[in-house]
A and B are shown apart, each in its own frame.
Chain A
Amino acid sequence: DAGITQSPRYKITETGRQVTLMCHQTWSHSYMFWYRQDLGHGLRLIYYSAAADITDKGEVPDGYVVSRSKTENFPLTLESATRSQTSVYFCASTGGDSPFFGQGTRLTVV
């Protein structure tokens, strides 16, 4: 189906482990984004990408790594998960029109 999908939807991991959140879009949108949503902070931009192999930091990039080898995929990796990274993560994409969002990944770091 066309759209933007995130996987997994739910994840529990232990402190110090590496975890990767996946994001896939079928529109060939140039721009893709990763946000985290936390109570009291709203949506905060972690990283964004203007095209394949072009990425840049957002507001809260520390502790995260991204890559974009293909236009349709934009994985987000937590290199060594910390409890402060417990959050809901949203991926989004836009081709110059309205940004479209995935359903989110709820990550719990214990």
Chain B
Amino acid sequence: AQSVTQPDIHITVSEGASLELRCNYSYGATPYLFWYVQSPGQGLQLLLKYFSGDTLVQGIKGFEAEFKRSQSSFNLRKPSVHWSDAAEYFCAALRKTSYDKVIFGPGTSLSVIP
């Protein structure tokens, strides 16, 4: 069955520290991959996406993600976290052959210590 996993339920980092959020997927073929961020009481905002090509993709707000086919991973990174980055982060996947649905990981809650 297709699935997206995010091993870390909650992460706490200090402001200014680097961040890496993990995401693994299980699909028959490489899907489209996304990272979304959700601030409290808000909808989901797209941070970045991977369709094909360069495995390191840049997104908004200083985020980047690296696609690793061998590890079925799409980890999100940021070199220096700001207090405003505290939010819920969702990794998601969409099957290329049929845009029937998006599968979300369970989310990682990020707390930032000033």
Contact = CB atoms under 8 A, between A and B. Distances in A.
Interface of A: 30-31, 33, 35, 42-43, 45, 48, 50, 56, 58, 90, 92, 94, 96-104
Contact of B94 (A42, A99, A101): A99
Contacts of A45: 101-102
A98 B49 contact: yes
B25 interface: no
B105 A101 contact: no
Contacts of A97: 49
A94 B50 CA distance: 15
B99 A43 contact: no
7 contacts: A42-B90, A48-B101, A50-B99, A56-B100, A97-B49, A101-B45, A104-B43
Given A42-B105, A43-B104, A90 B99 contact: no
A15 to B, nearest CB: 25
Q: Which of A33, A42, A50, A102 has the most CB of B within 10 A?
A: A42
Interface residues of B, number: 19
Contact of A33 (B34, B49, B102, B107): B102
Nearest to A94: B99
A31 B94 CA distance: 12
A99 B92 CA distance: 10
A43 B105 CA distance: 8
A35 B45 CA distance: 15
B46 A33 contact: no
Interface string B64-105: 000000000000000000000000001010100001111011
Given A103-B43, A104-B43, A42 B104 contact: yes
Given A48-B100, A99-B94, A42 B107 contact: yes
A31 B46 contact: no
A43 B90 contact: yes
Contacts of A30: 99
A43 B36 CA distance: 12
